[in-house]
Amino acid sequence: MKKKLRKDIFIIQCLFLLFLTGICILLYMAFMPIYYEYVKDKQILQAYQDIAELDLSDLDDRECLMFANYENENLSFTIADENMKPVYVTEPVDNIDHTVQRNILKKLDAFSREPEINRNSGKLLETARYRGIMTQDGTDYYIVIKDIAAGRKSITMAEKFYMALFLVLMVPGSICMMLLWKALLKPLDQIVFAAGRAAEGEPGPRLEEEGRYQELNQLAKSMNRISLQMKEQNSQIEEGKRQMLHHNVRKDQVEKRRKEMIANISHELKTPLAVIASQTEMLGYTVDDREYYVASIQEEVAKMSDMVSRLLDSSVIEHQMESMIQKKIDMREVMDYIILKYEGMVKKKKLHLETFLSESCFVMGDREYIEQSVDNYMTNALEHTEIGGNIRVTLKKQKSYIRVSVYNEGRQIPEEDLEHIWSGYYRNKREPKREENGFSHAGLGLYIVQSIVTMHNGSYGAENLPTGVEFWFKLPKYEEGQG
């Protein structure tokens, strides 16, 4: 059967106190009487020496004060001359003669010029007597000094009193001790609870690290670190699950898009193939318009070739991104380079380009692919902005992300199309095909952007603003020690 630490500490402390009290009582019983006798004997001898220095023939008030001091220590004095005339008696005045007769006259045989301390035990008291004969100026003085304390019997009573007091106070003292230990061990209970949560794989509550005891504070700090690490690990696991789910969803979406892409391409190829077939048939019936039909056939073949090439390019890009090498990249430097690259095209269309670029925007990634993502946003903005319109490029830090956005003034994207524009070869059926100003509608640009950003653990999106559209993506901010 397992025991609680608090209970064991309480029992051990009670046993220790009981043992310590018993030892104290034994030592008291063994040595207190000896010590008491030693002190009293020394006190009596000192009093006798002090009396020898007095003039017993003529005691004044100052000398009587010395006797009073000793009497406060439970000593009594009876002094008489050789004629049994009282010199000094501790007893009341009306009993002086009786006291002299009882303590001196009846005990003359017990007096000596070299006295010794004698102890007598009675029913209630144990007394120590010192009987001596002191000569001053030819006169003998009989001196009796008595210790009138209870002696050993008083010590025995004290022992019994202390033992009873200990037994009476043992119960309330134990309760108080139990409550005290409960309060003192409360931080330990919290640590045990946190450790139990940790054993179950759940981070526990944060523990107080500035308590009374250094050892418990260190243990609390360790448990807090463990809880923090578990939270981070759980977050990583949840993030891994989320990414795995996202990956699976994205995989399904990619497969769906591939099927849609094949269907779209098949549909797109039907028209040029039909044109080629009809133009080839016409070549068999006429000679005059041969050059026109040949040029028409070549134009349709070029469109088909361009379409197939873009499809192959997207497949190659997706395959290469799986083995891309990521490094620390200064996004401010990347944005400056791209803006400079498109400066000529901006001037050609007489556009107004605004830039808001923050410093120290570092990410971990493949520069070539990230540049390609920004390129696609820029070409998309240049294509859909009318002459004299506005384009705004922004780079800024957001907590743990770096945000890149390209805004272009122009026609908004229909709300029902916003979630589909990232699909390869998706085109709004109401939007006419455009191939002007040197830009062709590729159909794969945004699809490539979402592929690149996703491979960099980022996010992307598009938002309609009152006067245009803003495309953006976010990449995780570079942290020191990363990579």
Task: Please give the pLDDT value at position 434.
Answer: 45
**CA 168 from centre of chain:** 45
State how far the Cα of 318 lies from the Cα of 455, in Å rounded to an integer: 10
Burial track 406-442 (b if 16+ CB lie within 10 A, e otherwise): bbbbbeebeeebeeebbbbbbbeeeeeeeeeeeeebb
Task: Please give the pLDDT value at position 242.
Answer: 78
Q: Quickly state the pLDDT bin for 330 (edges 50, 70, 90).
A: very high
Q: What is the pLDDT of residues 353-391, one digit of tens each?
A: 999 999 989 999 988 889 989 998 998 899 899 999 999
For the record, the structure tokens of 154 come out as 């008083």
CATH T-level topology, domain 324-483: Heat Shock Protein 90 (3.30.565)
54-63, 75-84, 432-441: which is most confident:
75-84
Task: Please give the pLDDT value at position 30.
Answer: 73
**More confident of the two residues 271 and 470:** 470
Task: Please give the pLDDT value at position 125.
Answer: 55
Q: Where are the domains of the chain?
A: 5-155, 324-483
Task: Please give the pLDDT value at position 442.
Answer: 40
**More confident of the two residues 166 and 316:** 166
Q: Are 296 and 282 in contact (CB under 8 A)?
A: no
Q: What is the pLDDT of residues 196-234, one digit of tens each?
A: 666 666 666 666 666 665 666 777 777 677 777 777 777
Q: What mean pLDDT, rounded, does the chain reach?
A: 77
**pLDDT over 80 at 340, yes or no:** yes
- What are the φ and ψ backbone dihedral angles of 113, each rounded to 5 degrees? -75, -15
**pLDDT over 80 at 342, yes or no:** yes
Q: What is the pLDDT of residues 294-320, one digit of tens each?
A: 777 777 777 677 666 656 555 555 555
Task: Please give the pLDDT value at position 336.
Answer: 93
- Check if CATH label 3.30.450 holds for domain 5-155: yes
Other Cβ atoms closer than 10 A to 376? 20
**pLDDT over 60 at 437, yes or no:** no
